[in-house]
Structure 1
Amino acid sequence: MKLKICGMKYPDNILEVGSLLPDYMGFIFWQKSARYFEGEMPELPKSIKKTGVFVNESIPIIEEKIAKYNLQAIQLHGQESVEFCLELKTKFGAAIEVIKVFSADENFDFSVLKPYESICNYFLFDTKGKLPGGNGTTFDWKILSNYPSTKPFFLSGGIGIEELDNIKEISKTNLPLYAIDINSKFETEPGLKDIKRLNDLKIEIIDAFKI
């Protein structure tokens, strides 16, 4: 089970979180977010995939952020089209992982995933809410039983330590759950992560999934 810690903002806190060696670290480049990142990127362990989170952004801006911050993954959190994702994947190839986000609720139509399957590296399911992400609540994970694809996916949306038992049950199924994506449940304020709680989470993940 991979771990992505998203919504990083402050350099010292980024370094602290980096010492825990999450698999992915997310930086939000959507200006309306309270976790909008625009600072200097400290040096992180090479094993951590720096992930830029974008919402209906232009390709030139995405390219600029990839170059400036040496990103290894991009997370598309808006209404990005299949053609848009294909242009990015064609431009960067294997150098950049493309994660396409879908906002889910009990009425989610899984058929919308099919055109993206051959283009994106991963899907990410987040809770449908007023904002593109960071709503701090989970959706009904039972709908994942309708997942029609073998494409590995991230699970996001209000995940805390108390959700790990349910995530463990999902991991026992045939669903290709690849990673959990955590954010607001481990913050003292937007963008500032609580290192103790994150460390507790990592210990729980290691125990739950025998990593």
Structure 2
Amino acid sequence: MRIKVCGMTSAAQVAQLDEMGVEFGGFIFYPHSPRYISRFMSRAELKKIKGKNINKVGVFVNASVEDVLQAVDDCGLYLVQLHGDETPKYCEKIADYVSVIKAFRIREDDNLLWKVKDYQEVADMFLFDTDGAGYGGTGKKFNWELLKDLDVHKPFFLSGGIGPEDIDKIKDFAGYPVAKDLFSLDVNSRLETSPGVKNMELVRDFVKQVKQI
């Protein structure tokens, strides 16, 4: 099972993730986030980050097309995650240049298939996260049972408050029909000591257990 560790702010910690076999490191380009990457390193420094396993994902919220594409070039991003209110037409413009993950914040009363239908042809992957105030992560899980029997027709990232205590829950999710399209887990705040600083011992143990599922 693939893993994305989001909200990275340290090249040294990204190198450790790479050694663990983590496939994706997320870097947040949203100025209102406490993990806004520009507070921690320059674009030139971010571009230098490379690894055997890890791929760089840029997370954007309602940025201009030009800003996103410039960041892709400046930072050597492999994927772009769109976490705001981006329209299908906007996603299509970005996807002409780089692979796109479109994020959706899930509420209990959502018709999820209706919510994603206009993005099926313009996004390469989806990400399902917990709905909350603003555009940042909530550190809380949504009800995964809402996905259980869906045929999403698209590889997706599962996000929202996932942490070490959820291994059994992840094992259960892996048995759901929807899990045939599960591309990667997405983790962040539950594995931190402070915003942007990961507890690498927690991360290492989490990665080891997930890779055994």
Asked if TM exceeds 0.5, the reply is yes
Letter in 2 for 1:23: E
Are the counterparts in 2 of residues 126 and 133 from structure 1 also a CA contact under 8 Å? Answer: no
> 4+ residue stretches of structure 1 with deviation over 3 A?
none
Alpha-carbon distance, 1:16 to partner? 2.6
Of 120-129 and 18-27, more deviation after overlay is shown by 18-27
Are the counterparts in 2 of residues 29 and 53 from structure 1 also a CA contact under 8 Å? Answer: yes
In 2, distance between residues paired with 1:187 and 1:148?
Answer: 33
Aligned counterpart for 2:205 among listed residues 192, 195, 200: 200
In 1, distance between residues paired with 2:54 and 2:13?
Answer: 15
Gaps of at least 5 residues in structure 2 are none
Aligned counterpart for 2:146 among listed residues 143, 147, 156: 143
Pairing of 1:1-211 with structure 2 (within 5 A):
1-38=1-38, 39=41, 40-41=45-46, 42-90=48-96, 92=97, 96-110=98-112, 111-145=114-148, 147-175=150-178, 176-207=181-212, 209=213
Gaps of at least 5 residues in structure 1 are none
Aligned pairs, how many? 204
Alpha-carbon distance, 1:47 to partner? 2.8
Letter in 2 for 1:101: A
Are the counterparts in 2 of residues 187 and 194 from structure 1 also a CA contact under 8 Å? Answer: yes
Alpha-carbon distance, 1:148 to partner? 4.0
In 2, distance between residues paired with 1:131 and 1:158?
Answer: 16
Of 100-109 and 74-83, more deviation after overlay is shown by 100-109
Are the counterparts in 2 of residues 21 and 45 from structure 1 also a CA contact under 8 Å? Answer: no
Letter in 1 for 2:64: S
In 2, distance between residues paired with 1:27 and 1:46?
Answer: 18
Letter in 1 for 2:28: I
Letter in 2 for 1:7: G
In 2, distance between residues paired with 1:112 and 1:174?
Answer: 19
In 1, distance between residues paired with 2:19 and 2:75?
Answer: 19
Are the counterparts in 2 of residues 17 and 193 from structure 1 also a CA contact under 8 Å? Answer: no
Of 137-146 and 55-64, more deviation after overlay is shown by 137-146
Q: Deviations over 1:138-194 (max 9, x none)?
A: 011111135342211110000001112112112112212111000001101100011
**Identity across the alignment (%):** 35
Are the counterparts in 1 of residues 149 and 177 from structure 2 also a CA contact under 8 Å? Answer: no
In 1, distance between residues paired with 2:121 and 2:167?
Answer: 30
Are the counterparts in 1 of residues 18 and 52 from structure 2 also a CA contact under 8 Å? Answer: no
In 1, distance between residues paired with 2:150 and 2:135?
Answer: 21
Are the counterparts in 1 of residues 148 and 177 from structure 2 also a CA contact under 8 Å? Answer: no
TM-score (norm 2): 0.91
The alignment's C-alpha RMSD in Å is 1.4
Letter in 1 for 2:101: I
Is the alpha carbon distance of 1:157 and 1:178 closer, same or farther for their aligned partners in structure 2, counting shifts above 3 Å?
same
Q: Secondary structure at the match of 2:37?
A: coil
Letter in 2 for 1:14: V
